[in-house]
Amino acid sequence: MADGARIIGREQLARLVEVLAARGYAVMAPTVRGGAVVLDEVHGVDELPWDVGDVQEPGSYRLTERGDGAVFGQAAAVKAIKPVLFPPDELIWRGHRSGTQFSVTDREGQPQRPVAFLGVRSCDLRALAQHDRVLADRAFPDTRYLRRREGVFLAAVTCADPADACFCTSMGGGPHPEEGYDLALTELVDPHRFVVEIGTELGAQVLAEVGSEAAAPEDLAAVRDQIASATERMTRSMDTDGLRDLLYASAESPVWDEVGNRCLTCMNCTMVCPTCFCTTVEDVSSLGSADAERRRVWDSCFSEEFAHIHGGSLRTEAKSRYRQWLTHKLGAWQDQFDALGCVGCGRCITWCPVGIDLTAEVAKLRAAAPLSVGGAR
């Protein structure tokens, strides 16, 4: 816990949403849409998921009633930060033909409303840092991402109730946000209150407008107990020791055949993953129309067309596509970005229709590999 932690109540939480909106932000927070908790724009605290919990297991998701009135009592929302800053379908330009002339409207100059995220988890902050590295910190940055990323306000929360699918502690994270936030909230019940840590000067200014009290020693002790309890209850794990070498050496492992027989190549895992960043460009027009569009849309290595070259696809089987995804995310990602491409949020496990668990697949690869490879045993 950082020095100078503060306390706010429900009234101040409502005030936080009001202050952010008054500063011109679109406030994105957990809310219930279509039977699931997602990050979406809200206009007041009544839209937050009060007393709503969730159960996330391999291939299974359902909402529950908590009974304690907590508002952030869920694990990672279905939609992370990624779809807001890196949209799944984005118009690049629109063109119009008039006679022999063709005019283009460039979307680069379109102003963007700044976004404030309330209730994001530690895993999503770490995923955001990955996208900053992959999309922004490169020789030719993604200018559309940079434009949306600029001015983002981040009010994170401690994940008090990790799901069965969560394993962020294995991937260098944990239930408590450690960095990358403007404000970090830890929700305590009985009595209901929020311990707030300040991460930036902007966060301090916003909290000053909201109003708060100094946190007492017993509040800080309760936060530490909550973090320890959440960490202890996160039983799913992944051994990352020598993982890149293990995956490179396991290209012909029979494990891929077994998981390929179960994989539906539905692309759910890559669509909900907060770090996947592959896209393709589509030109859209219709016969007889004078208009045309160019759009950037998310792509997935589970699509057969993803590896299409002249003459056909390089990966026609499900096993080769799953191998590509896992080997890149946990192996080649380290070569490219000096990090693992997984933050342990567990979304790919929850939203896989057949409940494929990447932590279990890594364990199988490790068990099948020679003792000299990747720390296998």
Q: Is pLDDT above 60 for 54? A: yes
Average pLDDT, the chain: 93
- pLDDT of 303 reads 94
Residue range 230-257: mean pLDDT, rounded? 95
- pLDDT of 374 reads 57
Whole-angstrom distance, CA of residue 104 vs CA of residue 95: 4
Q: Is 91 exposed, middle or buried (0-12, 13-18, 19+ CB in 10 A)?
A: middle
- pLDDT of 309 reads 87
Q: Is pLDDT above 70 for 371? A: no
Whole-angstrom distance, CA of residue 307 vs CA of residue 300: 10
Residue range 121-126: mean pLDDT, rounded? 97
Report yes or no: 46 and 142 within 8 Å, Cβ to Cβ. no
- pLDDT of 370 reads 79
- pLDDT of 157 reads 98
Report yes or no: 76 and 163 within 8 Å, Cβ to Cβ. yes
What is the gyration radius of the CA atoms in the chain, in angstroms? 22
Q: Is 338 exposed, middle or buried (0-12, 13-18, 19+ CB in 10 A)?
A: exposed
Residue 244's contacts (CB-CB under 8 Å, 6 or more residues apart) are 330, 331, 332, 334, 335, 374
Report yes or no: 160 and 187 within 8 Å, Cβ to Cβ. yes
Q: Identify which has the larger pLDDT, 104 or 225.
A: 225
Phi, psi dihedrals of residue 15, rounded to the nearest 5°: -65, -35
Report yes or no: 302 and 321 within 8 Å, Cβ to Cβ. yes
Cα angle for residues 238, 239, 245 (degrees, 5° grid): 120
Percentage of residues in the chain having pLDDT higher than 70 = 96
Residue 264's contacts (CB-CB under 8 Å, 6 or more residues apart) are 318, 353, 354
Helix axes 10-22, 201-210, angle to 10 degrees: 120
Question: At 38, is the secondary structure helix, strand, or coil?
Answer: strand
Residue range 314-338: mean pLDDT, rounded? 95
- pLDDT of 311 reads 83
C-alpha closest to that of 81 among 21, 44, 124 = 124
What digits encode the pLDDT tens for the residues 158-176? Answer: 999 999 999 999 999 999 9
Residue range 72-85: mean pLDDT, rounded? 94
- pLDDT of 169 reads 96
Query: What tokens appear for 265 in the block?
Result: 């190549």
Q: Is pLDDT above 70 for 377? A: no
Report yes or no: 49 and 69 within 8 Å, Cβ to Cβ. no
C-alpha closest to that of 85 among 48, 109, 116, 123 = 116
Model confidence band, residue 104 (pLDDT cutoffs 50, 70, 90): confident
Residue range 279-295: mean pLDDT, rounded? 89
- pLDDT of 108 reads 61
Model confidence band, residue 225 (pLDDT cutoffs 50, 70, 90): very high
Model confidence band, residue 310 (pLDDT cutoffs 50, 70, 90): confident
Sheet holding 213-214, edge to edge: 36-41, 26-33, 115-120, 153-157, 183-188, 193-198, 6-8, 213-214
Residues forming a β-bridge with 61: 56
- pLDDT of 98 reads 86
Percentage of residues in the chain having pLDDT higher than 90 = 84
Question: What is the biggest distance separating any 2 CA atoms in the chain, rounded to whole angstroms?
Answer: 75
Query: What tokens appear for 164 in the block?
Result: 């069965």
Whole-angstrom distance, CA of residue 54 vs CA of residue 292: 43
Model confidence band, residue 99 (pLDDT cutoffs 50, 70, 90): confident
Q: Picking from 86-90, 173-177, 283-287, 354-358, which range would have the lowest pLDDT averaged per residue?
A: 283-287
Question: At 64, is the secondary structure helix, strand, or coil?
Answer: strand
- pLDDT of 110 reads 58
